[in-house]
Structure 1
Amino acid sequence: MKHPEFESDRLLLQHITSEDQPAIFKGLSHPEIIKYYGVHYDTLEETGIQMQWYQNLEKSGSGKWWIIRLRSGSHFCGAIGFNDWNKEHEKAEIGLWLFPEFWGSGIMQEAAELVFPYLFDQLHIHRLEAFVEIENTNSAKLLEKLMFQQEGIMRDAEKKNGRFISITIWSLLNTKN
């Protein structure tokens, strides 16, 4: 599976490589990012697990992730990708995270609008899914802007930090196919 890169006037979306491990660690150890994210790491070395996960997704053909950079200065902003691609059912799960200093800037919406046509038109994914902790209102607002529809709530669906949390289910359908 080829790994395309995307760009807009403001952003570069690039394949995640081993050189990005310090930036991935910075993001996946940041308290405000991991508050609602299912993955976190305490050391740079531990982040190697995440880097291996990115590689395995590509090798297995079950997903891809991109680093999001500003074109001006190539400043690292976050990451976006998809995983759990089920080719039989033409669906995949979308994932994303962004450093807090970029929240509210439209960067994640812009990144998603670069990636989604590839997912729908090139990979022929019919359904994108997102699973969001019920307290993560910022992600819910972003999904609404991206035209996702909330389908329901899985009550006490996961255990995090010793307590049960509820998860909202969101979807965006490819209406072109």
Structure 2
Amino acid sequence: MDKNFPTIKTDRLLLREITNFDLENIFNGLSNPKVIEHYGISFDSLNATKQQMIWYKNEKQMWWAICSLNNQVFYGAGGLNNIDCKVKKAEIGLWLLPEFWGKGIMKETLPLISDYGLNQLKLNRVEGFVETENINCKRAMSKLDFQLERTMIDCEIKNRKLISLDVYVKTI
């Protein structure tokens, strides 16, 4: 573990560094059809998931394991991608295991991560790219003070189909 990696706590959540001990939990999430329906990455084996673990360690990413306060239950992962200190922006991402959907974890976690980026990393902008058809995530972003900035029409291919992305932004 990196002694300098920030741990964030609330009354019920612990956000801590992702470690190799989380490999199975990460695989369980990123191989689950419900999780990956609107997520850009999926894995079909524990071995393949090791690539994601390497990605989490990249200096342009800062991702936390989202756990119960006692660190006994793994809920999901969230963090900042493509951190660009020159331009002072990053992309926010988060996924939860389906059994923890609708329990307010996303609502509690996203502000912690975006506030960390804006206040601790001194970013000017945190962006969230949401598939236009992901109504639940779009609703959550709006409730959490992210502003819809634009829609990028047919900008990516997923499952051999063009998809559009809505860009939500939170600034200082």
Question: What TM-score, normalized to structure 1?
Answer: 0.91
- Which residue of structure 2 aligns with residue 86 of structure 1? 84
* Aligned residue pairs, count: 170
Q: Contact 1:85 / 1:91 at 8 angstroms: preserved in 2?
A: yes
Give the corresponding residue for 1:159. Answer: 157
In 1: Cα distance, 2:143 partner to 2:158 partner: 27
In structure 2, the residue matched to 1:19 is: 21
Supply the distance in 2 between the matched residues of 1:112 and 1:131 (Cα, whole angstroms). 13
The aligned amino acid for 1:9 is D
Aligned in 2, Cα 1:104/1:66: closer, same or farther, shift over 3 Å?
A: same
Task: Mark the runs of 5 or more structure 2 residues left unpaired by the alignment.
Answer: none
SS in 1 for 2:72: coil
- Matched to 2:48, the amino acid is E
Percent of aligned pairs with the same amino acid: 44
Match of residue 8 from structure 1: 10
CA distance in 2, matches of 1:141, 1:24: 25
Runs of 4+ in 1 over 3 A off after TM superposition: none
Partner of 2:68: 70
Which sections of structure 1, spanning at least 5 residues, go unmatched?
A: none
Counterpart for residue 126 of structure 1? 124
CA deviation map 1:58-84 (0-9, x unaligned): xx3x22100001125621111110011
| AA in 2 matched with 1:28 | L
1:107 match = 105
3-state DSSP class of the match of 2:35?
Answer: helix
Q: What is residue 35 of structure 1 aligned with on the other side?
A: 37
